[in-house]
């Protein structure tokens, strides 16, 4: 017969088993707490990173994202990042306020799906565009300045001789009329040469406080904006730039006159002015937007509007936007134009805020 088991041994074994179970349970709970802590910390890190992340499954289904609330707006160049067929590279996004942003999209494959990463590169993209334009404008400006200097001397002689002819031909009305046309043409050429030299010279802004709301009201009068044009100045009273008001006045008048020409065929012309505060590299700036409901700019022309002597209108020197761009760049500011053919144009200016 088998020997009987000592009840005390059974009790000791049961107690040891219970202690081991309790120890395992405690370790399990500790591991669970550590796992929860790591998950929370991981989630905090993912929410804090300056880009959006989506983890997609084998069939493209979203399994995880650190941005559960979709960005309000739409991608202008294809599906959203988490949708099939979304392209990689620089992507254009328009928010609910019709403001364009630029994102860099990248996809990385996983064992069963892929990870999509979206980085906001709006600042770098616009700065690169502006830098490229400024380099091109400087090269054009140097060439134009040389030509302007060469033209100015013979042009001065032409104006002098035309004036002498006007005096000598007072008794010959037909010849006098032709001579006056020569004078008018000479004057237009002289104005163009002066504009070229203004465009090509170095700019040295003398900044002071420029209250945006009243500044644009004054610019409206200087540009001759008629009362028939609806004027919506929604700029906050607190908005102010640290800039040269005389230089900026030239920019403002040019932009308003361009808008009026673009709205010549609009039944209800409308100009809307908005401004919002932004922090760029920890420094406050005011982002200003001027929108019209005019004819817009054709897509093929949008990349050339800052080139000297290029104009989408029938007349004009084509120097207005080129000079404006140089003035904004001289302030270390940013100038960006958004437009849709047949729908209207928005010009955005960003300059340092006044203290």
Model confidence pLDDT, tens digit, residues 3-43:
555 777 777 777 777 888 888 888 888 888 888 887 777 66
Q: Are residues 180 and 288 in the same domain?
A: no
Burial class for 352, CB neighbours closer than 10 Å (0-12, 13-18, 19+): middle
Mean pLDDT across 155-173: 78
Exposed / middle / buried, residue 324 (Cβ in 10 Å: 0-12, 13-18, 19+): buried
Indicate whether 14 belongs to any domain. Answer: no
Residues 231 and 259 in one domain: yes
Q: What is the rounded CA–CA span in Å between residue 348 and residue 154?
A: 41
Write out the residue range of the structural domain in which residue 332 sits.
208-352
What is the predicted pLDDT for the residue at 219? 94
Give the CATH number for residue 270. 3.30.565.10
Name the most confidently modeled range: 59-73, 229-243, 288-302: 229-243
Quick check: is 43 in a domain? Answer: no
Rounded CA separation 40/63 (Å): 17
242 shares its domain with 333 = yes
Count CB-CB contacts under 10 A for residue 318: 19
Q: Are 258 and 307 in a shared domain?
A: yes
pLDDT of 149 over the 70 cut: no
Q: How confident is the model at residue 315 (pLDDT cuts 50, 70, 90)?
A: low
For residues 183 and 166, is the Cβ–Cβ distance under 8 A?
Answer: yes
pLDDT level of residue 145 (50, 70, 90 thresholds): low
Provide CB contacts within 8 A for 292, sequence distance 6+: 259, 262, 263, 269, 270, 271, 272, 344, 345, 346
Q: 150, 183, 200: which is the final residue of a domain?
A: 200
12 belongs to a structural domain: no
Query: Structurally, how many domains does the chain consist of?
Result: 3
Query: Does residue 288 carry a pLDDT above 90?
Result: yes
Same domain, 307 and 260: yes
Asked, for residue 29, whether it belongs to a domain, the answer is no
Question: How many other CB atoms are found less than 10 A from the CB of residue 333?
Answer: 22
171 and 236 both lie in a single domain: no
pLDDT for 294 equals 92
| 140 in a structural domain | yes
Domain shared by 170 and 254, yes or no: no
Residue ending a domain, among 178, 200, 222, is: 200
Q: Give the model's pLDDT for residue 314.
A: 60
Q: Are strands 270-280 and 230-233 parallel, antiparallel or unpaired?
A: parallel
- Mean pLDDT of all residues belonging to the chain: 83
Grade residue 203 by pLDDT with cuts at 50, 70 and 90: confident
Q: Best-predicted range by mean pLDDT among 88-92, 178-182, 236-240, 299-303?
A: 236-240
Residue 157 lies in a domain: yes
Furthest-apart CA pair in the chain: how many Å? 154
In a domain, 3, yes or no: no
User: Considering 120, 137, 156, which residue would you say is the last residue of a domain?
Assistant: 120
Please tell me the distance from the alpha carbon of residue 116 to that of residue 108, in angstroms, as a whole number. 6
Same-domain pairing of 218 and 188? no
The four Cα atoms 329, 232, 355, 98 give a dihedral, to 10 degrees, of -60
pTM tops 0.85: no
- Do 235 and 345 belong to one domain? yes
Are residues 290 and 255 in contact, defined by beta-carbon separation less than 8 angstroms?
yes
Q: Does residue 100 share a domain with residue 64?
A: yes
């Amino acid at each position: 017969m088998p020997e009987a088991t000592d009840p005390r041994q059974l009790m000791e074994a049961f107690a040891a088993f219970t202690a081991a179970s309790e120890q395992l349970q405690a370790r399990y709970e500790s591991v669970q707490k550590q796992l929860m802590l790591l998950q929370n910390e991981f989630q905090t890190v993912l929410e804090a990173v300056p880009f959006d992340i989506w983890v997609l499954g084998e069939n493209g289904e979203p399994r995880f994202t650190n941005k559960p609330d979709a960005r309000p707006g739409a991608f202008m160049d294809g599906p959203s990042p988490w949708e099939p067929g979304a392209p990689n590279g620089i992507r254009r996004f328009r928010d609910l306020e019709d403001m364009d942003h630029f994102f860099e999209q990248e996809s990385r494959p996983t064992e069963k799906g892929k990870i999509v990463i979206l980085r906001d590169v709006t600042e770098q993209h616009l700065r690169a565009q502006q830098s490229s334009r400024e380099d091109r404008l400087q090269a054009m400006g140097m060439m134009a300045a040389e030509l302007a200097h060469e033209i100015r001397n013979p042009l001065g002689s032409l104006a002098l001789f035309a004036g002498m002819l006007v005096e000598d031909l007072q008794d010959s009305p037909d010849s006098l009329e032709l001579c006056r046309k020569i004078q008018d043409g000479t004057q237009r050429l002289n104005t163009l040469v002066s504009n070229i030299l203004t465009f090509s010279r170095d700019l040295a802004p003398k900044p002071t406080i420029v209250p945006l709301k009243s500044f644009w009201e004054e610019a409206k009068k200087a540009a001759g904006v008629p009362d028939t044009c609806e004027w919506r100045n929604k700029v906050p009273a607190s908005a102010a730039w640290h800039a040269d008001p005389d230089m900026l006045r030239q920019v403002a008048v040019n932009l308003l006159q361009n808008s009026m020409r673009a709205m010549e065929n609009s039944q209800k012309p409308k100009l809307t002015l908005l401004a919002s505060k932004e922090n760029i590299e920890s420094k406050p700036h005011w982002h200003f937007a001027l929108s019209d409901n005019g004819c817009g700019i054709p897509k093929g022309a949008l990349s050339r509007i800052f080139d000297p002597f290029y104009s989408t209108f029938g007349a004009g020197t084509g120097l207005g936007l080129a000079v404006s761009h140089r003035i904004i760049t001289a302030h270390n500011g940013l100038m960006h134009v958004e437009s849709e053919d047949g729908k209207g144009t928005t010009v955005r200016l960003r300059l340092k805020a006044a203290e």
